[in-house]
């Protein structure tokens, strides 16, 4: 069935939009960041591995992240499709996702990429730090996460563009503004 990716730098609002799209299509929104945070909170072995990387703003190793995602996608609620938020983030994860989709007979229908100015991102992340208390929303860690997104994850956009599945969207404005733009894209092509 269908898989949709939502990409964007930290603070771009991709998590919020992923949940809205998932509700609309009645499929799960899978956030690798949320799964890691739940494991950290529960003190699982996976959480103990992930924590160190997350707190430093670094990516959790591909092998760990991909094994976790594979297990999640194999669950029955993903049979009709799913939305991915925060995976893939590296070229190795792109290749791993291709394999997973082939094995589970899902088609990559669209990759939505939210574009937001860097100064807006920092403002949003600082605000989120104050309201959500995420331990990776401190200034240094925010800087590192944005840097890593540009270096490691930015090149994925060119890859998906070359496959004809990339849709870039203006991610500025309110949640409702962005949701309306996302809905237009879905009406037009998904």
Q: Site residues (CB under 6 A) for ligand AMP?
A: 10, 32-33, 36, 53-54, 57-60, 65, 86-87, 89, 93, 136, 145
Tokens 């605000």 sit on residue: 127
What is the Cα–Cα distance from 76 to 154, expressed in whole angstroms? 32
Rounded to a whole number, what is the distance in angstroms from the first to the last CA of the chain? 12
Tokens for 67, please give them.
């094994």
Tokens for 128, please give them.
């989120």
Task: Answer for the pair 93, 180: CB distance below 8 angstroms, yes or no.
Answer: no
Our CB check for ligand AMP shows the closer of 158 and 188 to be 158
6 C-beta neighbours (distance < 10 Å), count: 27
Query: Nearest distance from residue 31's CB to ligand AMP, in Å?
Result: 6
Our CB check for ligand AMP shows the closer of 132 and 187 to be 132
91 C-beta neighbours (distance < 10 Å), count: 14
What is the Cα–Cα distance from 11 to 87, expressed in whole angstroms? 15
Tokens for 20, please give them.
């809205």
Query: Nearest distance from residue 78's CB to ligand AMP, in Å?
Result: 17
Query: Nearest distance from residue 61's CB to ligand AMP, in Å?
Result: 7
Our CB check for ligand AMP shows the closer of 13 and 187 to be 13
Q: Which residue is nearest to ligand AMP (CB)?
A: 33
Which residues carry out catalysis?
Answer: 14, 89, 128, 134, 145
Query: Nearest distance from residue 148's CB to ligand AMP, in Å?
Result: 8
Our CB check for ligand AMP shows the closer of 13 and 86 to be 86
């Amino acid at each position: 069935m269908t898989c949709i990716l939502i990409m964007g730098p930290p603070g771009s609002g991709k998590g919020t939009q992923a949940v809205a799209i998932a509700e609309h299509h009645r499929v799960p929104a899978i956030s690798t960041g949320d799964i890691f945070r739940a494991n950290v909170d529960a003190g699982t072995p996976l959480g103990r591995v992930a924590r160190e990387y997350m707190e430093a703003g670094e990516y959790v190793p591909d092998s760990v992240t991909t094994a976790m995602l594979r297990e999640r996608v194999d669950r029955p609620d993903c049979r009709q499709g799913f939305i991915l938020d925060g995976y893939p983030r590296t070229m190795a994860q792109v290749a791993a996702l291709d394999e997973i989709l082939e094995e589970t007979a899902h088609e990559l229908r669209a990759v939505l990429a939210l574009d937001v100015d860097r100064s807006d991102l920092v403002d949003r992340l600082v605000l989120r730090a104050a309201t959500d208390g995420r331990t990776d929303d401190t200034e240094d860690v925010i800087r590192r996460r944005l840097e890593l997104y540009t270096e490691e994850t930015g090149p994925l956009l060119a890859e998906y563009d070359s496959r004809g599945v990339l849709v870039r969207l203006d991610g500025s404005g309110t949640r409702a503004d962005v949701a309306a733009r996302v809905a237009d894209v879905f009406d037009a092509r998904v």
